[in-house]
Homo-oligomer: A and B are copies of this chain.
Amino acid sequence: MSTQQASIYTGIYPIAPTPFLENGDLDLDGMRRVLDCMIDQGVDGICILANYSEQFLLTDAERDLLTDLCLDHVAGRVPVIVTTSHFSTRIASERAAKAKKAGAAMLMLMPPYHGTGLRADENGMVEHFAAVAKASNLPIMVQDAPLSGVTLSVSFLVRLAKEVPLVQYFKIETAQAAAKLRGLIAAGGASILGPFDGEESITLMADLDAGATGTMCSALLPDLIRPVVIDYLAGRRSEAASQYARILPLINYENRQCGLRATKAMMAEGGVIKHETVRHPLEPLHPQTRAGLLELAREVNPLVLHWGK
Of B87, B114, B131, B280, the residue contacting A128 (CB under 8 A) is B280
Could you give, for residues 111-155 of chain A, a 1 whenever the CB lies within 8 Å of some chain B CB and a 0 otherwise?
Answer: 011111110100011011001000000000000001111000000
Could you give, for residues 273-285 of chain A, a 1 whenever the CB lies within 8 Å of some chain B CB and a 0 otherwise?
Answer: 0000001110100
Nearest CB of B to A94, in Å:
8
Contacting pair A147 B57 (CB below 8 A): no
Of B58, B59, B125, B148, the residue contacting A115 (CB under 8 A) is B148
**For A149, what are the chain B residues with a Cβ–Cβ distance below 8 Å?**
115-116
Contacting pair A280 B116 (CB below 8 A): no
Nearest CB of B to A57, in Å:
4
Decide yes or no whether A60 CB sits under 8 A from chain B. Answer: yes
Decide yes or no whether A24 CB sits under 8 A from chain B. Answer: yes
Contacting pair B146 A281 (CB below 8 A): no
Most chain B CB inside 10 Å of its own CB: which residue of A91, A115, A146:
A115
Decide yes or no whether A89 CB sits under 8 A from chain B. Answer: yes
> Which residues, 97 to 121 on A, are CB-close (under 8 Å) to B?
112-118, 120
Contacting pair A113 B115 (CB below 8 A): yes
Contacting pair B89 A281 (CB below 8 A): yes
Contacting pair A124 B57 (CB below 8 A): no
Decide yes or no whether A90 CB sits under 8 A from chain B. Answer: yes
Closest residue of chain B to A119, judged by CB? B281
Contacting pair B280 A127 (CB below 8 A): yes
Contacting pair A91 B59 (CB below 8 A): yes
Q: In the complex, A85→B49 CA distance in Å?
A: 21
Q: How many residues of A contact B (CB 8 A)?
A: 34
**For A281, what are the chain B residues with a Cβ–Cβ distance below 8 Å?**
87-89, 112, 120, 124-125, 127-128
Contacting pair A116 B61 (CB below 8 A): no
Do A60 and B61 form a contact, CB below 8 Å, given A124-B281, A127-B281, A280-B90? yes
Q: In the complex, A242→B254 CA distance in Å?
A: 60
Contacting pair A115 B147 (CB below 8 A): yes
Closest residue of chain B to A54, judged by CB? B88
> Which residues, 66 to 90 on A, are CB-close (under 8 Å) to B?
87-90
Contacting pair A88 B124 (CB below 8 A): no
Contacting pair B89 A279 (CB below 8 A): yes
Of B59, B112, B120, B147, the residue contacting A60 (CB under 8 A) is B59
Q: In the complex, A131→B279 CA distance in Å?
A: 13
Extra inter-chain contacts (19) besides given A59-B91, A125-B281, A131-B280, CB under 8 Å: A56-B88, A57-B88, A57-B91, A58-B88, A59-B60, A59-B94, A60-B60, A60-B61, A88-B280, A90-B280, A113-B115, A115-B149, A116-B147, A116-B149, A117-B146, A120-B281, A124-B283, A127-B280, A128-B281
Q: 21 A-B contacts, Cβ less than 8 Å apart? A: A56-B87, A56-B114, A57-B87, A57-B88, A57-B90, A59-B91, A59-B94, A61-B61, A87-B281, A88-B280, A90-B280, A112-B281, A115-B147, A116-B116, A116-B146, A116-B149, A117-B146, A117-B147, A124-B283, A127-B280, A128-B281
